[in-house]
A and B are shown apart, each in its own frame.
Chain A
Amino acid sequence: MTEAVDFKPESPAREAWRMFRRNIPALAGVVVLTIIVAATLWGTFFYDGNPYRIVWAPHEAPGMTPDFPLGTDYLGRDIFAGLIAGGGPTLAVGAAAAAITMVIGVSLGALAGFYGGWIDNLLMRITEFFQVLPTLLFAMVLVTLFSPTLTTIALAIGIVSWPQTARLTRAEVMKIKELEYVTAARAIGARNRRIIWTVILPNAAPPLIVSATLTIGVAILFEAGLSFLGLGDPNTMSWGLMIGTNRAYILEAWWPVTFPGLAIFLTVFSVSLIGDGLNDAFNPKLRER
């Protein structure tokens, strides 16, 4: 009475993609994020505004003049131009910081999980130490001590955010290490480094990809927070900076802080929708419940 099933093997990546394609919120996230990225990359070709120059009367409300669709700020600078110009640094720092976080976190986590013993012990103590430091405060200290540039900001965010990634990687590696194909790879005499790179990390990839996506979102929020506090690169426009500089006038004009905030929110929101979608795609069983 066994059912004759036409069994077509499908690679996990393909299956994940098939699941992802059907996830409407995640696809919406992809669309919105694409629009935001495109606007920051090529927006200036379609809209030539200078975000730094005073071009109009201060606090012109949105929609009043067609030249400045989102109005002007307390100095009379074009907010829409600021949004387009400010997205680049925010996104770039977010992505770079997420990359740094992943590099540090995955390397340390993989080492700790794979070797165990005193290496694991030492690395986990270091991780715990870093988790004691309140992240934003530590990043603020680093950025002020080493002068704020886009590079130091990205580095600072990476340095304070890696512990969670390290823990996740360690847990995944320890799980995979026990599986049969690792034993098999050992049996044929593969070296440790080779096993880590060719067997363990590819198998740990799904949760790490999800975590990388969510890390980008956190890093963007981080960058926004630092710029809001005036700790961003003072020479570049950014969404957080726009909110920070216009903060004093919120009771006179709501729009100079509202639109950059919405931009940050939409970016992080679509990133996390994508992250959730990837998570569901990699763990179809969880969704069935």
Chain B
Amino acid sequence: MSASFLFRRLVYGLILMLGVVVLNFLLIRLAPGDPAMVIAGEMGGGDQALLDAIRTQYGLDRPLLTQLGIYLGNVLRGDLGQSYFFNQPVATLIGNRIGPTILLVLSAQVLSILLGVFLGVIAARKPNGALSGFVSVVATVGYAVPVFWTGIMLIILFASVFPIFPVEGMQSVRLRGAGFWVKAVDIAHHLVLPAFTLALIYLAQYARLSRASMLEVLGSDYIRTARAKGASERAVLFKHALRNASLPILTVAGLQFGNLISGALLVETVFNWPGMGRLAFESILRRDYPTILGVLFFASAMVVVANLLTDLSYRLADPRLRGKT
């Protein structure tokens, strides 16, 4: 992998993030009403002293480009503004919430890919078999169910019928002072339902995609070569075919990441998961714009990073791309 490729992808990612910052700036200016009021949010809206302070801080009486410069400078220093509702810097607020979101999103991603690909590979062995039919029905159903509703249905099921998983929050209050492993197990226990809910939408899509991709790969000449060597059916499927079939799956996994974050927003709200999505929901109810835009910024940054990682892993997985720029 060439260093220049890495460098160029990094620079491109930074440019995209710069675009997000400019977009945030424009959104506040374009919104109807006084920008200072928008920034203050509904909580601080009536306080004249606060509004004046905001006007000076953001240079709102100066030309638009100067304002943009000030805004950019703030962001570069890590200052995403102040949440007047939570009475905390936005960066701090998000810093506390980003961990749980990453945990949720990554678990859902891993769960849906592992399970989905496994189902897809097995289904590809018998393209007209029962499992293939099941996978495509589940894929259509999974696509059509609203994720927040799935979450609620699971809560009803697991709260009243099979109370084996916690349906709310990320940690048990009674374990406050417990050791690391006890806490980790507790978090994992709380993670099961939200992660599964979020994974459910994508699981079936990965199954369908990997089934199609495997079917295509299984018809290729090098698979016949592997069989002609005397390779076992399992080695043919999981070593020779899957490695090639995983390339389109990787692409989609990268593209899905943004949707996954959108889904996490709803799932966090349903399960009271203390992440960025829940934060976005709370701050939107309060019209706390600095926080909302901060979440938008960080969520986009997560997508940019995910895309970068996808690009890199794609190059690692496909030797034909290595060394190319």
Q: A131-B303, A145-B27, A217-B143 are in contact. List 11 more A-B contacts (CB 8 A).
A: A128-B16, A129-B19, A132-B258, A133-B23, A134-B300, A137-B265, A137-B280, A142-B27, A145-B289, A225-B146, A289-B215
CB distance from B167 to the nearest CB of A (A): 9
- Pick the interface stretch among A68-76, A172-180, A191-199, A266-274: A266-274
Pairwise interchain contact B295-A257, C-beta atoms closer than 8 A: no
A251 at interface, CB cutoff 8 A:
yes
Pairwise interchain contact B303-A134, C-beta atoms closer than 8 A: yes
Q: In the complex, what residues of B have CB within 8 A of residue A141's CB? A: 27, 284, 292-293, 296
Q: In the complex, what residues of B have CB within 8 A of residue A140's CB? A: 265, 280, 284, 292
Q: In the complex, what residues of B have CB within 8 A of residue A146's CB? A: 31-32
Q: In the complex, what residues of A have CB within 8 A of residue B281's CB? A: 229
**A residues 241-274 touching B (CB-CB < 8 Å):** 243, 247, 250-251, 254, 257-258, 261, 264-265, 268-269, 271-273
Q: Which residue of B lies closest to A253 (CB)?
A: B156
7 contacts between A and B (CB under 8 A): A132-B307, A144-B287, A144-B289, A225-B147, A261-B145, A261-B149, A289-B215
Secondary structure of the B side of the interface?
Answer: helix
Q: Which residue of A lies closest to B255 (CB)?
A: A131
The contact string, 1 if C-beta is below 8 Å from chain A, for chain B 140-161, is 1101111111001101100110
Q: In the complex, what residues of B have CB within 8 A of residue A264's CB? A: 146, 149
Q: Which residue of A lies closest to B157 (CB)?
A: A254
Q: How far is the CA of A230 from the CA of B284 in the complex (A)?
A: 10
Q: Which 7 pairs, one residue from A and one from B, show the smallest C-beta to C-beta distance?
A: A136-B262, A261-B149, A269-B144, A268-B144, A145-B31, A134-B261, A134-B299
The contact string, 1 if C-beta is below 8 Å from chain A, for chain B 16-42, is 100110010001001110000010000
Q: Which residue of B lies closest to A139 (CB)?
A: B262
Pairwise interchain contact A135-B140, C-beta atoms closer than 8 A: no
CB distance from B132 to the nearest CB of A (A): 12
A138 at interface, CB cutoff 8 A:
yes
Q: In the complex, what residues of A have CB within 8 A of residue B261's CB? A: 134, 137
Partner of A132, one of B16, B38, B277: B16
Pairwise interchain contact B262-A137, C-beta atoms closer than 8 A: yes
Pairwise interchain contact B149-A257, C-beta atoms closer than 8 A: yes
Pairwise interchain contact A228-B146, C-beta atoms closer than 8 A: yes
CB distance from A200 to the nearest CB of B (A): 26
Q: How far is the CA of A258 from the CA of B20 in the complex (A)?
A: 38
The contact string, 1 if C-beta is below 8 Å from chain A, for chain B 174-203, is 000000000000000000000000000000
Q: Which A positions have Cβ atoms within 8 angstroms of B?
A: 128-129, 131-138, 140-142, 144-147, 217, 221, 224-225, 228-231, 240, 243, 247, 250-251, 254, 257-258, 261, 264-265, 268-269, 271-273, 276, 289
Pairwise interchain contact A229-B266, C-beta atoms closer than 8 A: yes
B304 at interface, CB cutoff 8 A:
yes
Please indicate which of the listed interface residues A128, A138, A240, A271 has the most CB atoms of chain B within 10 Å of its own CB.
A138
B285 at interface, CB cutoff 8 A:
yes
Q: In the complex, what residues of B have CB within 8 A of residue A221's CB? A: 144, 146
Pairwise interchain contact A129-B141, C-beta atoms closer than 8 A: no
Secondary structure of the A side of the interface?
Answer: helix
B323 at interface, CB cutoff 8 A:
no
Q: How far is the CA of A289 from the CA of B266 in the complex (A)?
A: 38
Q: Which residue of B lies closest to A260 (CB)?
A: B149
Q: Which B positions have Cβ atoms within 8 angstroms of A?
A: 16, 19-20, 23, 27, 30-32, 38, 127, 140-141, 143-149, 152-153, 155-156, 159-160, 215, 255, 258-259, 261-263, 265-266, 269-270, 277, 280-281, 284-285, 287, 289, 292-293, 295-296, 299-300, 303-304, 307
Q: Which residue of A lies closest to B257 (CB)?
A: A134
Partner of A272, one of B140, B147, B149, B153: B140
Known: A141-B296, A261-B153. A276 touches B140 (CB 8 A): yes
Partner of B144, one of A231, A258, A265: A265
Q: How far is the CA of A282 from the CA of B159 in the complex (A)?
A: 46
CB distance from A64 to the nearest CB of B (A): 19
Q: In the complex, what residues of B have CB within 8 A of residue A269's CB? A: 140-141, 144
Pairwise interchain contact B143-A272, C-beta atoms closer than 8 A: yes
Q: How far is the CA of A243 from the CA of B289 in the complex (A)?
A: 26
Pairwise interchain contact A258-B153, C-beta atoms closer than 8 A: yes
Pairwise interchain contact B145-A144, C-beta atoms closer than 8 A: no
Partner of B262, one of A134, A254, A276: A134
Pairwise interchain contact A225-B144, C-beta atoms closer than 8 A: no
Q: In the complex, what residues of B have CB within 8 A of residue A265's CB? A: 141, 144-146, 149
Partner of B16, one of A129, A138, A145, A251: A129
Pairwise interchain contact A289-B152, C-beta atoms closer than 8 A: no
Q: Which residue of A lies closest to B307 (CB)?
A: A132
Pairwise interchain contact A289-B284, C-beta atoms closer than 8 A: no
Q: Which residue of B lies closest to A244 (CB)?
A: B148
